[in-house]
Structure 1
């Protein structure tokens, strides 16, 4: 149904109006009729269609109607004007004598085509007047335009991402934005008193640049619309001209922003000088800001980042070798105070129909590596961060070893084609426990396409989910396996070694230089016989089993999808720490696995724990490489995964707008 607009006829006067093609004029007859009027007739230009109750086309002929309460004349114009006021119509009123005119009302129309257009069908092309451009629908058959947050840096010299400034950062900056066009048809100009205006109630979340001539972009133009400026007036271009706008996202979806940005184009008219303009036509479009998306271990590893310090040369060398075997590029970052690369940031990406850019999420931990995430960003490489709210203190659970994502899963028929984010928290209902900062949690939930799962990780000293779980690719079943740390499996393996006569062998016997610093029992016999160790690890196993049940339920897993890897823990002030290097805390680089070397005693020339891990993972087509992370990482409560960070390929063939809110 066409948008209607009511105008009031004036007897014996010419009313000049601008008419927008596709709309409908409505004119009251009864109240404007002169005293004694009994009937009326309508005449109009050949391309003006008029009707009272049923449409009729007027071709310089009269059509009579009765003046009665509720009588209205409707009119539509079919073609744009060539000149101002060239579409004409008139209403003539008659008294008792049908051939005697009492009065006449004339309307001169200037008909224009006017539309605000975006890429509503998400094919990379701005179509004209898409019927659903003002609404958003998720799914493969959905509609609604997509907007990237312009969070990269076009100019490396700048210290902040482009979405934090209010001007173009070079002409190439437009490539990170979504086009929005004002299309017109009609005469060269509008009658006096008319103007065009673009406005948005969400201007704090999106910036708009007006680019009059794409061949003459200076690259320093200021925003036409954005934070603190919710409307922008501009000239009607005329003669079929277009007005080029480019829209940049300024904010990711969050607790206070659902991701939708609406823009409205209004045709305004000044009725009385000195008064506010009144709208006579409005057209609307909607964008949805692209979410930040994480990538799981099953995605192709592209780059791995490590810190180079004085004590980890062997670690870096071994990891570099594994990376090259995986076809992954290794990067070393010099830093003398912070080796926990995983905790500082998490790599993800954002996508629109024409572009995909990696985006690094900077954690709020802000320690020795705090400058690295922003330094990594540049052209087509974005950045986002969240800080704790006032009154909240950063704790260990805010580090991103506590932020993982599953591979794609199907749970009770519901598909999660981008996987599900996994974070660790305090036990449900425990007020005194540690939790991830509210701002970070709300950000993750607000992205909507990787519905987060919360696990219980506060039982650990460090408190990160990567200490007891990981995912590896697999050629069968769901395409992956969930790896879980298992104290029970570890104690079984130690008891087997004891029964085989190896009870006097010691952990870390190949590392005499660190044994004195380890305040724990090292002899297999002593470990197995220690009731405190078995009791403490029974508690740890219960904590892991709680998470096991949550993961099975929330990821749709069965026992056959889970592999238990032997890991032993000790309690330090009631919080758990790995007894020896935690083999679950590994790096997955395609089919190459960088696993913490556990430093168990050798039996028949082999480490029994390494052999056990190989027996579980190598049948999946995976190569196990055991990496020495003892001094720099394990002794400081971290492992291989904690000391590295991997950027992976985005999902191919899965568009987030097809996924829908989860």
Structure 2
């Protein structure tokens, strides 16, 4: 047997094969049952430029009685992505066809192209089979097809880029040729024949169209195959395939403890004083504010309820996104009309109108700061959503949103019990604030018990005649009168039980201790249906801007010219380096069943930690 220098030949299945030298050449003697494995060690420069020859010798003969040979053409084909997640497309990474989590994980990452870089795109950029500008390309992940070999393929061979039917509606691929970008794979095209031109690189750009969701874990694969054309009527035969796998980036929501970038608030006809105080707070905290005026909000003031901010991220790029609530208020046009823009993505989930209730507003979606629970790390915190009591029927967040939040994986949701509230929102009884010690935050919980304890202490000190609601056009209520109202106390005993149920869940699911929780005085009343409303502006429903807090002014009993509820909150939070600014929201928000947090929204900086480095 002889072979060319650019061929490696290995003899297997015969331990008796022997090498001998004939006329200065090394020749292998093959026996019956010998198997020769032939491999090209370099690509060919011309078609059929390599050869393996087997000579047949008679017994004792030095000259062959016959010869058989095979001509070979070596072609190197590699479909490449950024599988090691460093922002560069490396060559033939051995892990490019799979995807693993963690700091040592491998596999490429795909952004969903949900921003709008061009006025020509109909809504978001993704899904319209066009590339309008270079900015749009930057939202995509690069994929390279590298080939080495002769200028032409042997007759009857073709290169084909392809994806599966199940993946085709979740991605689009564009081929870069002569500064033009052609749509080559997607819902309308499952495969694309590539013109082979020898040693070259083909650039492709891949965009995601769909976030992880129920039934779609986020993994997508693209293949390149070398096909041999068979006689007419017989399908092409694949003789080589290379595969790359992407994971679509999840949406990551941001907790109150991350640094703010921009505050959003509505201007309506009766919130002038509220708006002025919010603007002053944001200005003093040195953040940006965006005001949504009535021609857009159409009288809807509930900025928190309409949308939730987050971000998406790949190694080469990331940008903020806004998740639009399925609850269609008058603010419904604001996220898509005012926020969707270059490098600002938009996501919406549509539900049947009959399924949507008040718990689908995004005051019912909060995010904890990063926590560790029984050794399990949640570096992006956990999403908190309000639901019904486990043993009863009641309001639950609509399935399309719940499924979406669960499918993102990186912020494993925790379901709390909020159906006891009239609006049913978790932000009515909890919030998180930053802290310089312990876990880096405190959980603030509304507490009727803490409120009664504070009022009883003030009465014991001789302040029973101090009255609430001073300065408001409503009946004043003294401490003594409030404490003697049995029906109010019974209602708040019930509310405290509901909050305590959530307290236990939060301690267990977030790994908290009592030292991580601060009880904030609050009272509630029940309406005719048995649902709870804040009796006075609920101070936990605040906006958190770093160390500056915009807190609903509670109009508590005035003792020595100071509201005792305000004084108590300041004493609890000042040791953490937090400053409280009390904002009057009674007329414009509280009486309409909301508070400061309900009327504002905050876009925050992303985490520095990369989501692909965690293990869900």
Indicate whether the TM-score tops 0.5: yes
**1:496 deviation in Å?**
2.7
Aligned with 1:271 (options 210, 230, 254): 230
**1:130 deviation in Å?**
0.7
1:601 and 2:557 are equivalent in the alignment: yes
**1:79 deviation in Å?**
1.3
Per the alignment, residue 26 of structure 1 pairs with none
Aligned with 1:181 (options 135, 144, 148): 144
Per the alignment, residue 252 of structure 1 pairs with 211
Per the alignment, residue 434 of structure 1 pairs with 395
Aligned with 2:307 (options 328, 335, 345): 345
Per the alignment, residue 152 of structure 1 pairs with 115
Aligned with 2:45 (options 82, 91, 97): 82
Aligned partners of 1:324, 1:170: CA distance in 2, in Å? 36
1:227-284 CA-to-partner distances (Å, cap 9, x unmatched) read 232222111131x200111110111011111111111110111021343211110111
Aligned with 1:526 (options 473, 481, 492): 481
Pair 157,637 (structure 1): closer, same or farther in 2 beyond 3 Å: farther
5 Å-filtered alignment, 1:632-647, equals 632-647=588-603
Check conservation: 1:584, 1:595, Cα contact below 8 A: yes
Aligned partners of 1:628, 1:49: CA distance in 2, in Å? 83
Check conservation: 1:350, 1:359, Cα contact below 8 A: yes
1:657 and 2:612 are equivalent in the alignment: yes
Aligned partners of 1:271, 1:383: CA distance in 2, in Å? 48
2:453 match: secondary structure: helix
2:481 match: secondary structure: helix
Per the alignment, residue 385 of structure 2 pairs with 423
1:397 and 2:397 are equivalent in the alignment: no
Count residues in correspondence: 603
Check conservation: 2:259, 2:546, Cα contact below 8 A: yes
1:320-369 CA-to-partner distances (Å, cap 9, x unmatched) read 11112222101100123210000100000011112120011111011111
1:123 and 2:86 are equivalent in the alignment: yes
Check conservation: 1:207, 1:247, Cα contact below 8 A: yes
Check conservation: 2:298, 2:331, Cα contact below 8 A: no
1:230 and 2:190 are equivalent in the alignment: yes
1:185-221 CA-to-partner distances (Å, cap 9, x unmatched) read 11111112111111122122111101123xx23xxx4
Check conservation: 1:265, 1:282, Cα contact below 8 A: yes
1:313 and 2:263 are equivalent in the alignment: no
Check conservation: 2:447, 2:496, Cα contact below 8 A: yes
Aligned with 1:359 (options 321, 324, 327): 321
1:210 and 2:166 are equivalent in the alignment: no
- The answer for unaligned runs of 5 or more in structure 2 is none
1:570 match: secondary structure: strand
Aligned partners of 2:273, 2:306: CA distance in 1, in Å? 22
1:563 and 2:518 are equivalent in the alignment: yes
1:491 match: secondary structure: helix
Aligned partners of 2:587, 2:120: CA distance in 1, in Å? 38
1:443-475 CA-to-partner distances (Å, cap 9, x unmatched) read 111111111111100110000000000000001
Check conservation: 1:117, 1:182, Cα contact below 8 A: yes
Check conservation: 2:541, 2:597, Cα contact below 8 A: yes
Per the alignment, residue 509 of structure 1 pairs with 470
Per the alignment, residue 429 of structure 2 pairs with 468
Per the alignment, residue 332 of structure 2 pairs with 370
2:494 match: secondary structure: helix
1:109 and 2:72 are equivalent in the alignment: yes
Relative to the length of structure 2, the TM-score reads: 0.94
1:482 and 2:443 are equivalent in the alignment: yes
Aligned partners of 1:438, 1:601: CA distance in 2, in Å? 43
Check conservation: 2:386, 2:415, Cα contact below 8 A: yes
1:99-122 CA-to-partner distances (Å, cap 9, x unmatched) read 675654321111111100001110
Check conservation: 1:310, 1:336, Cα contact below 8 A: no
Aligned partners of 2:67, 2:168: CA distance in 1, in Å? 47
**1:291 deviation in Å?**
0.5
Aligned with 1:447 (options 408, 431, 434): 408
Aligned partners of 1:141, 1:180: CA distance in 2, in Å? 21
Aligned partners of 2:353, 2:548: CA distance in 1, in Å? 43
Check conservation: 1:292, 1:350, Cα contact below 8 A: yes
Check conservation: 1:48, 1:57, Cα contact below 8 A: no
Check conservation: 2:466, 2:559, Cα contact below 8 A: no
Check conservation: 2:83, 2:90, Cα contact below 8 A: yes
Aligned partners of 2:122, 2:454: CA distance in 1, in Å? 53
Aligned partners of 2:245, 2:400: CA distance in 1, in Å? 26
1:306 match: secondary structure: strand
1:404 match: secondary structure: strand
Pair 472,197 (structure 1): closer, same or farther in 2 beyond 3 Å: same
Aligned with 2:157 (options 179, 194, 197): 194
Aligned partners of 1:224, 1:392: CA distance in 2, in Å? 40
- The answer for unaligned runs of 5 or more in structure 1 is 1-41
Aligned partners of 1:485, 1:51: CA distance in 2, in Å? 76
Pair 57,566 (structure 1): closer, same or farther in 2 beyond 3 Å: farther
Aligned partners of 2:554, 2:259: CA distance in 1, in Å? 27
Relative to the length of structure 1, the TM-score reads: 0.88
Check conservation: 2:53, 2:68, Cα contact below 8 A: yes
1:322 match: secondary structure: helix
Aligned partners of 2:153, 2:481: CA distance in 1, in Å? 93
Aligned with 2:574 (options 618, 623, 630): 618
